[in-house]
Amino acid sequence: MIRVAMTSVYVDDVAKAHAFYTDVLGFETRMHMDVGGGTPFITVGAADGAQQDVQLLLEPGHGPIAEPYRAALREAELPCIVLSVDDLQAEFERLTDLGVHFAQEPQKQGPMFLAILDDTVGNWVQLTQMKG
Protein backbone atom coordinates (compact mmCIF):
# COMPACT_ATOMS: atom_id res chain seq x y z
CA MET A 1 0.00 0.00 0.00
CA ILE A 2 1.30 3.46 -0.92
CA ARG A 3 0.66 6.33 1.51
CA VAL A 4 1.54 10.00 1.58
CA ALA A 5 4.39 10.40 4.07
CA MET A 6 5.48 13.98 3.54
CA THR A 7 4.68 17.00 1.41
CA SER A 8 6.64 20.21 0.96
CA VAL A 9 5.52 23.72 1.76
CA TYR A 10 7.85 26.27 0.20
CA VAL A 11 8.52 29.12 2.63
CA ASP A 12 10.42 32.43 2.69
CA ASP A 13 12.13 31.67 6.00
CA VAL A 14 12.34 28.15 7.44
CA ALA A 15 12.88 29.27 11.06
CA LYS A 16 9.97 31.74 10.91
CA ALA A 17 7.77 29.07 9.28
CA HIS A 18 8.72 26.57 11.98
CA ALA A 19 7.67 29.05 14.69
CA PHE A 20 4.37 29.84 12.94
CA TYR A 21 3.39 26.25 12.19
CA THR A 22 4.22 25.08 15.75
CA ASP A 23 3.57 28.07 18.03
CA VAL A 24 0.54 29.45 16.19
CA LEU A 25 -1.06 26.61 14.23
CA GLY A 26 -0.22 24.02 16.89
CA PHE A 27 1.78 21.43 14.94
CA GLU A 28 4.63 19.56 16.62
CA THR A 29 8.18 19.23 15.34
CA ARG A 30 8.77 15.76 13.91
CA MET A 31 12.29 16.22 12.49
CA HIS A 32 14.84 18.98 12.96
CA MET A 33 18.20 18.08 11.43
CA ASP A 34 21.25 19.99 10.31
CA VAL A 35 21.92 18.89 6.74
CA GLY A 36 24.54 21.52 5.99
CA GLY A 37 24.19 24.65 3.95
CA GLY A 38 22.80 26.72 6.81
CA THR A 39 19.15 25.69 6.46
CA PRO A 40 17.88 22.88 8.70
CA PHE A 41 15.63 20.06 7.52
CA ILE A 42 12.42 20.58 9.50
CA THR A 43 9.14 18.68 9.35
CA VAL A 44 6.02 19.24 11.42
CA GLY A 45 2.91 17.15 11.95
CA ALA A 46 -0.37 17.17 13.83
CA ALA A 47 0.20 17.38 17.58
CA ASP A 48 -2.24 14.56 18.27
CA GLY A 49 -1.09 12.42 15.35
CA ALA A 50 1.01 9.31 15.12
CA GLN A 51 4.58 9.44 13.84
CA GLN A 52 3.49 7.77 10.58
CA ASP A 53 0.98 10.59 9.81
CA VAL A 54 1.64 12.99 6.95
CA GLN A 55 4.37 15.52 7.72
CA LEU A 56 4.91 18.98 6.25
CA LEU A 57 8.46 19.65 5.12
CA LEU A 58 9.20 23.36 5.55
CA GLU A 59 11.21 23.77 2.38
CA PRO A 60 13.24 26.86 1.43
CA GLY A 61 11.16 28.59 -1.24
CA HIS A 62 13.95 30.12 -3.28
CA GLY A 63 15.22 29.11 -6.69
CA PRO A 64 14.08 28.82 -10.28
CA ILE A 65 11.25 26.36 -9.60
CA ALA A 66 9.94 27.34 -6.17
CA GLU A 67 9.78 31.12 -6.65
CA PRO A 68 7.60 31.17 -9.82
CA TYR A 69 5.39 28.40 -8.40
CA ARG A 70 4.82 30.28 -5.14
CA ALA A 71 4.30 33.61 -6.91
CA ALA A 72 1.69 32.07 -9.23
CA LEU A 73 -0.22 30.50 -6.33
CA ARG A 74 -0.14 33.73 -4.33
CA GLU A 75 -1.24 35.87 -7.30
CA ALA A 76 -4.10 33.49 -8.08
CA GLU A 77 -5.05 33.54 -4.37
CA LEU A 78 -4.76 29.75 -4.21
CA PRO A 79 -3.71 27.98 -1.02
CA CYS A 80 -0.49 25.99 -1.06
CA ILE A 81 -2.07 23.41 1.24
CA VAL A 82 -5.43 22.55 2.78
CA LEU A 83 -5.57 21.67 6.47
CA SER A 84 -8.62 20.23 8.23
CA VAL A 85 -10.03 21.40 11.54
CA ASP A 86 -12.87 20.09 13.73
CA ASP A 87 -14.40 23.52 14.45
CA LEU A 88 -13.52 26.18 11.89
CA GLN A 89 -15.25 29.06 13.68
CA ALA A 90 -13.43 28.34 16.96
CA GLU A 91 -10.09 28.01 15.14
CA PHE A 92 -10.72 31.23 13.23
CA GLU A 93 -11.40 33.08 16.49
CA ARG A 94 -8.34 31.57 18.22
CA LEU A 95 -6.03 32.44 15.33
CA THR A 96 -7.49 35.92 14.88
CA ASP A 97 -6.83 36.57 18.59
CA LEU A 98 -3.20 35.56 17.93
CA GLY A 99 -2.97 38.16 15.14
CA VAL A 100 -3.24 35.82 12.15
CA HIS A 101 -4.42 37.59 8.98
CA PHE A 102 -7.22 35.90 7.08
CA ALA A 103 -7.66 36.64 3.38
CA GLN A 104 -11.02 34.88 3.56
CA GLU A 105 -13.12 34.52 6.68
CA PRO A 106 -15.06 31.29 7.30
CA GLN A 107 -17.74 30.61 4.74
CA LYS A 108 -19.79 27.71 3.51
CA GLN A 109 -18.71 26.29 0.16
CA GLY A 110 -20.37 23.13 -1.06
CA PRO A 111 -20.01 20.31 1.49
CA MET A 112 -17.56 22.23 3.69
CA PHE A 113 -16.75 25.40 5.56
CA LEU A 114 -13.45 27.04 4.69
CA ALA A 115 -11.22 30.00 5.46
CA ILE A 116 -7.87 31.13 4.04
CA LEU A 117 -5.03 32.53 6.14
CA ASP A 118 -1.61 34.03 5.50
CA ASP A 119 1.14 31.83 6.99
CA THR A 120 3.53 34.84 7.24
CA VAL A 121 6.13 33.11 5.04
CA GLY A 122 4.65 33.67 1.60
CA ASN A 123 1.68 31.31 1.41
CA TRP A 124 -2.07 31.15 1.62
CA VAL A 125 -3.25 28.19 3.71
CA GLN A 126 -6.82 26.93 3.61
CA LEU A 127 -8.52 25.62 6.74
CA THR A 128 -11.45 23.31 6.05
CA GLN A 129 -14.19 21.75 8.15
CA MET A 130 -16.40 19.15 6.53
CA LYS A 131 -20.09 19.65 7.24
CA GLY A 132 -21.38 16.91 9.49
- Domain locations along the chain: 6-130
What pLDDT is recorded for position 37? 77
What pLDDT is recorded for position 106? 98
Which pTM was predicted?
0.92
40-76 pLDDT, tens digit each? 999 999 998 776 789 999 999 988 999 999 999 989 9
Cα–Cα distance for residue pair 56/46, rounded to 1 Å: 9
- The percent of residues in the chain predicted with pLDDT above 90, rounded, is 83
For residue 129, pLDDT over 90 is answered with yes
Query: Could you say which of 3.10.180.10, 2.60.40.1930, 3.40.50.150, 2.40.40.20 is the CATH number of the domain covering 6-130?
Result: 3.10.180.10
The mean pLDDT value for 11-19 works out to 96
User: Sign of dihedral through CA atoms 37, 55, 18, 13?
Assistant: positive
27-36 pLDDT, tens digit each? 999 999 988 7
The residue among 6, 126, 10 whose CA lies nearest residue 68 is 10
What pLDDT is recorded for position 132? 67
